[in-house]
Amino acid sequence: MFVLMIENTGAAYALPEKGIVGQHAVFDPAVLEAPSINDEFKAQYSEEQTKVFLKRANRMNTITYPFNPLDAVGWHGDLSVLKLNWRDIRPLMSHRYHLPPSAHTTFVGNGFVVCTFVPRPIESDPGALKVPFYHNNDDYDEVLFYHAGDFFSRDNIEAGMMTFHPAGFTHGPHPKAFQAGLEAKKTFTDEVAVMIDTRNALEHTSAAADVENSEYVYSWKVGK
């Protein structure tokens, strides 16, 4: 099982500005799920000692309670844990124009955005670009987490993989995917992926280096 965790330190998540398409575009806020005090929640009630790990200033602290603190009987306010199912996302589309990734923004954080790519019809106009255009991010680092499906802009990508494109690194569709787009072999994308674009430069740990595919940088060469 693979889990992608994105920490928004020093701020709360917010929904993106949706402009003239309106607040119900991409996903209706009504589909956001908040916790409810149901039987499953009440089953957590316990008088057993519970440790809570708190991260502050990149250091971990431990708070020990003589009971399980997840024992709420109610709460008041509008700051809460929320859940969004990718199946409830209705992506913006154009049959004549390949929309930029920013059109798929689902959450805005402190210095970064989270975009979600879900299955959608591919542009049908004969002159439309069917795959992402070649580009480089001058001001943002880009990380993509592949959750499920067949990522249409390149091959040799499987669920659980991640790609990292630092600012200034030119990238785009894999040659095979570009050719498939020209030949219009696919009419529908079958992919679920999460992208994080960060204003601040990212650093990777030794854990990432241990699983890195060092040949990835050469994967856009013709014939690869």
Q: What is the 3-state secondary structure (H, E, C) of the chain?
A: CCCCCCCCCCCCCECCCCHHHCCCCECCHHHCECCCCCHHHHCCCCCCCEEEEEEECCEEEEEEECCCCCCCCCCCCCCCCCECCHHHCECCCCCCCCCCHHHHEEEECCCEEEEEECCCECCCCCCCCCCCCCECCCCCEEEEEEEEEECCCCCCCCCCCEEEECCCCCECCCHHHHHHHHCCCCCECEEEEEEEEECCCCCCCHHHHHCCCCCHHHCCCCCC
Active site residue 98: yes
Q: What is the mean pLDDT of the chain?
A: 87
The answer to whether 171 is annotated as binding is yes
Q: Which one from 95, 98, 165, 204 is the annotated catalytic residue?
A: 98
Distance CA 137, CA 195 (A): 13
Closest CA to 104 of 12, 204, 21: 21
pLDDT tens for each residue of 124-135: 888 887 777 777
Residue 4: pLDDT over 70: yes
Residue 175: pLDDT over 80: no
Amino acid identity of residue 136, one-letter, is N
104-136 exposure pattern, b = at least 16 Cβ within 10 A, e = fewer:
bbbbbbeebbbbbbbbbebbeeeeeebbbeeee
Distance CA 180, CA 42 (A): 52
Residue 93: pLDDT over 60: yes
30-68 exposure pattern, b = at least 16 Cβ within 10 A, e = fewer:
eeeeeeeeeeeeeeeeeeeebeeeeeeeeeeeeeeeeee
Q: Could you state, in order of their start, the residue ranges of all structural domains in the chain?
A: 19-33+90-218, 42-81
The answer to whether 141 is annotated as binding is yes
CB 6 within 8 A of CB 196: yes
The answer to whether 150 is annotated as binding is no
Lowest mean pLDDT among 80-94, 104-118, 154-168: 154-168
> Which two three-digit tokens encode residue 146?
């592949």
pLDDT tens for each residue of 29-46: 999 998 889 999 999 999
Residue 28: pLDDT over 90: yes
> Which two three-digit tokens encode residue 200?
């601040």
CA angle 163, 202, 145 (to 5 degrees): 25
The pLDDT value recorded for residue 213 is 86
CATH superfamily of the 19-33+90-218 domain: Jelly Rolls (2.60.120.10)
**Average pLDDT for 9-34:** 91
The pLDDT value recorded for residue 150 is 78
Residues comprising the chain, all counted: 224
The pLDDT value recorded for residue 134 is 77
